[in-house]
Amino acid sequence: MRNAGSPAWHRNNMGNTCLENGSYLMNYIGCANCHQRDFVLISNKATEDDDGEELVTYDHVCKNCDHIVARHEYTFSVVDDYQEYTMLCMLCGKAEDSISVLPDDPRQTAPLF
């Protein structure tokens, strides 16, 4: 007899897309204040350094009416030769990444597919 439970890997992958600052925002459906779907600017950018971990926060601001659409934050730190990133934002989603600081990343030899 089989176990009828849902597979644990069945998850929504939409939040994993890593986006550059100020580029097209997948989750942006328009400004809640003026209902325009205009460019989203970045403002109030602040950087904090907390014991080797860098915390960067900024606001996504509606170009049309200066309404703060979402608050974006990401952290950056170096752990054992790897640069670790985490990102959390209502618009950009949630992401984690790590990149080797060495020119030769041993993990890049791993198959991607």
Query: Under the criterion CB under 5 A, does residue 64 sit at the interface with Zn ion?
Result: yes
Taking the least distance from each CB to Zn ion, the nearer of 21 and 83 is 21
Query: Under the criterion CB under 5 A, does residue 67 sit at the interface with Zn ion?
Result: yes
Using CB under 5 A as the binding criterion, the count of chain residues that bind Zn ion stands at: 11
Query: Under the criterion CB under 5 A, does residue 91 sit at the interface with Zn ion?
Result: yes
Distance CA(59)–CA(45), nearest Å, equals: 7
Q: What 3-state DSSP class applies to 70?
A: strand
Query: Under the criterion CB under 5 A, does residue 41 sit at the interface with Zn ion?
Result: no
Pairing mode, if any, of strands 82-89 and 68-79?
A: antiparallel
Tokens representing 20? 């550059």
Site for Zn ion, rule CB under 5 A: 31, 33-34, 62, 64-65, 67, 72, 89, 91-92
